[in-house]
Chain A
């Protein structure tokens, strides 16, 4: 099977790359062994939240202070602003809608009741200009009876810092009786599926209106609109008070919806998306990757002019650590990391963990290195790249989006 470009990994990076290339008329395929980290998204795409322990107000400015090996530095700071703009428009063309700007972080309220700086926030959620004030006085936190993945007490405690004394109330509806029977399945996505059917919205809105009398704002878990994209909007329209959605414990409903939206966009552009298939190995010749072999397709070759490795970090098995080794499991590419296990992590869990920065080594054009030499047509994008600690910095989605667009630009050159 011959494509212009084949992308390994169907997460945010792989999809961004695929959409960009397909928009430019390339015939692309994405092969992904399973669903990706977008399923855990809080609903905000981070660009840069913290540098050297300091909270960032203007990510574009603060990037200067990042170390040279950081992916943003390697993309080139002069390119960042243009790429952030492009990323935003690519996502909007795909059908997502956001608030936020690259040169000024806004804040979102986390489920712990703290304000966190971020770049782009899905319109489901509320973005705040200030981190130390909360625009409403009286808040009611509504939860579904039996839903354990929304920690209302944390939110209530968090809001106390803003001098808000929130009240927690529960809603029970017969539509959710059935899923409640099975406590392990009272999960956000199953609640969302009930709302998707369309027969719970009206009743829920009525109940919410009743319970929120006398309050200024209704706080709800973000469990609206999984396959049916309009549920959250419908609900906000029907509830009289402002609605503030907060992320529940993953899997994240807005995250999955974003994944589906991006995947559909890629397919509408003619892209081939192969899920549940693992890329096993590559055939190289003269420093080029000629073809890849996958688990499902066996001896049927997948050939392309250029390949992109967007296989994620440890969680997605883009990088693997065993007790004595750190490696990239598909091709055995060079790894930027310490092979001495002692150095991998700090026993204090919340400290900066060295292993979080490990990733595949590349040259300055983001081509993968193998035995010290660049593979001429194998580009690397997203969290499989090393050099950053996205969790600590708040830079996960930003790195994925910008390095993917950058890799796509190298290919389109």
Chain B
């Protein structure tokens, strides 16, 4: 009963020759819909690639308008890696140099370290109108954008001070790739993750040294640095997964997507040894429950109406079903599914002045859906979607892990496996 593997002939790495020119991808590209300057997935991807192979002069700088949302890939019936083709072309052919602004936006960890050190000053400063006006005119960071607040006590510091010791008490262990956002902006999500994992019987550890996944470096053209960080992370993951037999989980869909798929596809950094055991916490929990190895007990008094937004990278991974299934397990949670649509922020894209309008236009249908849904808050797995939705709608956004942490009955859950 061995299946036969379908091996197409003469196929390039990015399989553009698989394209049958059906134009289905163009129907689902959120940018093309609002910005006619963008040539669209088919033209930028497989069609353009054919030309670029002949002569790199055919490269069109308008490709930077691509959000890298991969919604075109999800729709393509022929499995063409359209988004990868476009991003690889940017890496290979783009002559435009990253600006100072791009470097600032891209270096989330360096900027985060500085900003969180001076958190009270930075937070106040970047919230001030005059400062935002200057950022707008000098740096071309759109003044509508509020920077996410920087925390005074970084997650890593908090962890070492208050959480590390206790983790050794557990029999089973995982490593946690927290990412820049949890470290510098929102340590609470990391604390929520530890709460749940501990309740499930797992000790949570930090990697020997994690570096920013590099997604913003890639999208801003800082490829050398991204590759260096990618190699570093793969080694750090190996130490956990291969050496210590500890899977790595994360709460950021974008970080995990970048590490699993963009490292090999865009940066050429091999990750076979770690890929399968690098995943989202929600998937890790789901698997345990699905295999009957874990039961969660919830508080009786939790009562909320929640809408789930599928971030583009979750759509591509196909993993929102884990988050939504976990959320639906909470008694007293009324679940509203939103039609999967891009929110328009795409990481640092929407922060750039020149993209602001496109970004908001792309997100409009989603914002309308959210306003109509009359929910207590929106749940989503991506931090930049959270900023965008909170800026553009009247709703607050929470991560599914934080919702679970609020609804879970820790003692009752622990009893279930301790017995």
Contact = CB atoms under 8 A, between A and B. Distances in A.
Contact of A185 (B24, B39, B337): B39
Given A178-B36, A281-B3, A39 B43 contact: no
A11 to B, nearest CB: 9
Contacts of B1: 284, 331-332, 370-371
Contacts of B276: 298-299
B328 to A, nearest CB: 11
Interface in A271-287: 272, 274-278, 280-282, 284
B6 A35 contact: no
Given A182-B40, A332-B4, 5 more contacts: A184-B47, A190-B26, A190-B32, A272-B321, A296-B317
Contacts of B7: 322
B315 interface: yes
Interface of A: 1-2, 33-36, 39-40, 178-179, 181-182, 184-185, 187, 189-190, 193, 226, 250-251, 256, 267, 272, 274-278, 280-282, 284, 294, 296-301, 315-317, 320, 322-323, 325, 327, 329-332, 370-371
B75 A276 contact: yes
A323 B9 CA distance: 10
B318 A274 contact: yes
Nearest to A375: B1
A13 to B, nearest CB: 14
Interface in B283-303: 283, 286-287, 290
Given A250-B22, A251-B24, A35 B77 contact: yes
B23 A251 contact: yes
B97 interface: no
B40 A184 contact: yes
A276 B73 contact: yes
A185 B315 contact: no
A327 B40 contact: no
3 closest A-B pairs by beta carbon, nearest first, are A276-B74, A296-B318, A34-B77
21 contacts: A1-B325, A35-B76, A39-B22, A182-B40, A184-B42, A185-B40, A189-B23, A190-B26, A276-B316, A277-B318, A278-B79, A281-B3, A296-B318, A297-B318, A299-B287, A300-B283, A300-B287, A322-B7, A329-B3, A329-B6, A330-B3
Contacts of B43: 182, 184-185
A375 B115 CA distance: 62
A185 B290 contact: no
A370 B4 CA distance: 13
A26 to B, nearest CB: 18
A136 B128 CA distance: 68
Contact of B4 (A189, A274, A327): A327
Nearest to A181: B36
Contact of A276 (B4, B40, B287, B315): B315
A256 B6 contact: no
A331 B3 contact: yes
B78 interface: yes
B2 interface: yes
A35 B36 contact: no
Nearest to B340: A275
Nearest to B20: A315
B33 interface: yes
B318 A1 contact: no
B36 A193 contact: no
B36 A267 contact: no
Contacts of B3: 280-282, 329-332
Given A179-B36, A181-B36, A184-B40, A35 B2 contact: no
Nearest to B287: A300
A36 B77 contact: yes
Contact of A182 (B5, B24, B39): B39
Contacts of A272: 321
Interface in B186-234: none
Interface string B234-263: 000000000000000000000000000000
Interface in B33-90: 33, 36-37, 39-40, 42-43, 47, 73-79
B387 interface: no
Given A181-B36, A276-B74, A331-B3, A34 B23 contact: no
A187 B32 CA distance: 12
A300 to B, nearest CB: 6
Nearest to A284: B1
B27 interface: yes
B319 interface: yes
Nearest to B5: A329
Nearest to B324: A272
B26 A185 contact: yes
A323 B7 CA distance: 11
Contact of B6 (A185, A299, A320, A331): A320
Contact of A187 (B26, B37, B286, B318): B26
Of B2, B27, B276, B321, most buried by chain A (CB within 10 Å of CB) is B27
B4 A329 contact: yes
Given A33-B77, A332-B1, A332-B4, A185 B287 contact: no
B319 A296 contact: yes
B248 to A, nearest CB: 15
Contacts of B37: 181-182
A342 B393 CA distance: 62
Given A276-B74, A276-B316, A300 B22 contact: no
Of A250, A294, A300, most buried by chain B (CB within 10 Å of CB) is A300
A300 B286 CA distance: 9
Interface in B77-107: 77-79
A189 B75 CA distance: 14
Given A34-B24, A250-B22, A277-B318, A316 B77 contact: yes
Contacts of A301: 290
B27 A189 contact: yes
Of B77, B276, B319, most buried by chain A (CB within 10 Å of CB) is B77
Contacts of B74: 34, 275-276
A180 to B, nearest CB: 8
A301 B318 CA distance: 14
B317 A35 contact: no
